[in-house]
């Protein structure tokens, strides 16, 4: 699903006819795919997922997808092993605000996806060998299980305007490329996306590069 709609694109570009709606829709889909390749941790639709992590001995845990809107459940069990064992029972379920807290950017939304452990660390296990009373610490192995919802839901949390602008500008560049197939052209490229266009717009390209750099700052 594209980040922006055909109607939004046409409003920005001041297009009043519907003759090119199919071309615009295809270009918007391709532009969204380019953005998703560059902002690999960002979700532009709301999704719920269950993931496993190995605690590394820190008090913070960074979730793989962002922005995070809620955490349904979080388990901590040194015998969990990515769900392959019989761990993650009721006794290993943690409580929000008591055992952990999601770092929020605004009420109900975490752009960082950071989960803080309250009064402790995320998972190293103490191992005792023989009569050793102190033992040593080893990293956790799939000892964290979390179910959470991430992505912009389009209701409570809208996709930021800068990302929508980026999607529309990329789509316009894709549309501009289409008629030049087989013609003498000059080349431009950035990140995962490259294209050739004789009627290049330096201003558009600079804006696209700047906006793309901004969304990449969200990745960790």
Q: What pLDDT, on the 0 to 100 scale, is given for residue 206?
A: 79
Shared domain check, 30 and 73: no
Instruction: Tell me which residue range forms the domain holding 32.
Output: 6-42+159-216
Shared domain check, 72 and 137: yes
Instruction: Answer yes or no: is pLDDT of 116 > 80.
Output: yes
The domain boundary, picked from 127, 150, 173, lies at 150
How many separate domains does the chain show?
2
Shared domain check, 133 and 181: no
Least confident of 20-24, 90-94, 100-104, 199-203: 199-203
Is residue 1 domain-resident?
Answer: no
Please name the residues in contact with 194: beta carbons below 8 A apart, sequence gap of 6 or more.
187, 188
Confidence label for 130 from pLDDT (cuts 50, 70 and 90): low
Q: Which tokens is 198 given? A: 């004789």
Is residue 84 domain-resident?
Answer: yes
Average pLDDT of the residues in 190-198: 53
* Sign, Cα dihedral of 96, 98, 101, 106: positive
Is residue 23 domain-resident?
Answer: yes
Is residue 96 domain-resident?
Answer: yes
Shared domain check, 53 and 103: yes
The domain boundary, picked from 114, 131, 150, lies at 150
* Sign, Cα dihedral of 31, 180, 200, 176: negative
CA within 13 Å, CB half, 52 = 15
Confidence label for 38 from pLDDT (cuts 50, 70 and 90): confident
Residue 194's SS3 state is strand
How far is Cα 54 from Cα 60, in angstroms, rounded to an integer? 12
Shared domain check, 114 and 201: no
Residue 86: what are its φ and ψ, rounded to 5°?
-95, 15
Shared domain check, 68 and 145: yes
Least confident of 9-18, 95-104, 197-206, 209-218: 197-206
> Please, what is the average pLDDT of the chain?
84
Average pLDDT of the residues in 136-146: 84
Instruction: Answer yes or no: is pLDDT of 48 > 50.
Output: yes
pLDDT tens digits for range 74-89 = 999 988 999 998 889 9
The answer for 142, left when phi > 0, alpha when psi is -120 to 50, beta otherwise, is: left
Of the candidates 98, 123, 103, the one whose C-alpha atom is nearest the C-alpha of residue 113 is 103
CB neighbour class for 36 (10 Å; exposed up to 12, middle 13-18, buried from 19)? middle
First vs last C-alpha separation in the chain:
24
Is residue 138 domain-resident?
Answer: yes
Shared domain check, 203 and 138: no
Instruction: Answer yes or no: is pLDDT of 150 > 60.
Output: yes
Q: What pLDDT, on the 0 to 100 scale, is given for residue 183?
A: 47
The domain boundary, picked from 150, 168, 202, lies at 150
> DSSP secondary-structure letter at 81?
G
Residue 175's SS3 state is helix
pLDDT tens digits for range 157-191 = 999 999 999 999 999 988 887 665 444 445 555 55
Least confident of 58-62, 108-112, 139-143: 139-143
């Amino acid at each position: 699903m594209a980040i922006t709609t055909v109607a939004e694109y046409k409003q920005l570009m001041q297009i009043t006819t519907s003759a090119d709606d199919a071309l615009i829709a295809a270009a918007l889909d391709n532009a969204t795919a380019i953005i998703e390749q560059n902002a690999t941790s960002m979700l532009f639709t709301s999704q719920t997922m269950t993931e496993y992590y190995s605690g590394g001995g820190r008090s913070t845990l960074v979730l793989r997808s962002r922005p995070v809107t809620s955490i349904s459940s979080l388990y901590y069990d040194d015998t969990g092993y990515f769900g392959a064992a019989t761990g993650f029972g009721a006794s290993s379920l943690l409580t929000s605000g008591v055992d952990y807290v999601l770092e929020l950017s605004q009420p109900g939304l975490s752009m960082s996806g950071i989960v803080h452990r309250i009064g402790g660390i995320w998972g190293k296990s103490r191992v005792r060998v023989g009569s050793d009373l102190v033992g040593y610490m080893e990293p956790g192995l799939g000892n964290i299980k979390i179910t959470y919802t991430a992505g912009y839901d389009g209701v409570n949390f809208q996709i930021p305007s800068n990302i929508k602008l980026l999607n529309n500008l990329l789509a316009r560049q894709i549309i501009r490329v289409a008629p030049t197939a087989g013609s003498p052209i000059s080349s431009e490229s950035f990140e995962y996306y490259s294209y050739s266009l004789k009627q290049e717009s330096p201003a558009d390209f600079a804006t696209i590069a700047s906006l793309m750099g901004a969304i990449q700052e969200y990745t960790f």
